[in-house]
Structure 1
Amino acid sequence: MNIRVLFLTLVLTTAVQASPTNGAAGWVSQAILQMPDTLRTRMLAAIARGDFAEAISFWELQTGRTAPQWLLALQSAFSTTNQKTGPCIQVARSVFEGFKQLGRKPSYVEFTTSGTHRGANLIGFDLPVGARSKTIQISENAVHYAVQIENRLYDAMTGPAGLPLAEYMARLQSPGTLSMKIVSQLP
């Protein structure tokens, strides 16, 4: 028995663990999760769980080709190395394109801050309780970009599960006045 057949056997006996009612799993429809076990179903479920390494393996196994650039870019966008000031535009582009390729209808969201207070141009993001540091600075120029699908926002800070709009807004911090708007394109 060759390694590929063994891997395929293991894959087909592994249970799909995505939940269609929360996080990124919301973009994998209930109908797809109820389909018979196939590599495609498992690949989509892995993406829904944020397990991009598994999704890429499933893609490569199913097609016999390397994963497409949009899938690799989506994986990279949620890397913790992007949780800092600077990469939000590229992250938003990658997340937007990845969700678009998955059949979703993403929108770009622009956050701006204004004011005369010292530091009014800064935007920070509060991390969950238990994180090493409490807040990460994500903008020094009064602008931050993310992607919205329905009532969830996605960027490097949220990971592939995203956050509900209200929770995201509660975590966004600035000494200035924050505002949010949907934009048709990025700079």
Structure 2
Amino acid sequence: MAQPWEERLAHGLRTMGFAQTPASAHGLITGCLVADPEAGNDLLIKSLGEALPLTENPAEAFDRLVDELRRHLLAQLYDIELGFAPLVPEDAEIETRAQALSEWADGFISGLGQTPRLGGLKPSAESAEILRDLAEIARMDPEPEDSEASEKDFEELSEYVRVGVLLIADELAPENPTRIPMQ
């Protein structure tokens, strides 16, 4: 059985000496790919910041991990099944999941802004509103209350982020989606 993305990404980030959490890095890479589906591994890894590797030669394994994640995200973002979801821990307390969603939203906005392809593109009014909402989510301070109402609120917020990102990805999708390098 394959390791979950969260574990694999956490290990890769740690090994490379990146400061991001898996949620933040996943959001950042997703934002880069939404802005430019043709972004390669070099740009995606560079977007994570300066690496301070903790082992002798971790770059090759991390490059493979990022490439696999890139292909996985592109397949999810542009699939008719709409299978995309932000990376947040599934089996954690609501406060931990809410913090991860906040970090993911912050990473997404950063990744979207780091990609040169966006240049002069202006988001639609709907996408601009979603981006403002994501900025608010990035600044939210999770409540340490584990209740049924909190769980329901989190699920609704998570679904809003998921659908919002898919709408933005659809809006910014290249004219010829067959050029998106998913393989």
For normalisation by structure 1, the TM-score amounts to 0.26
- Find the structure with the greater CA-based Rg: 1
The structure whose RCO (Cα within 8 Å, separation 6+) is larger is: 2
**Bigger proportion of residues as strand:** 1
For normalisation by structure 2, the TM-score amounts to 0.26
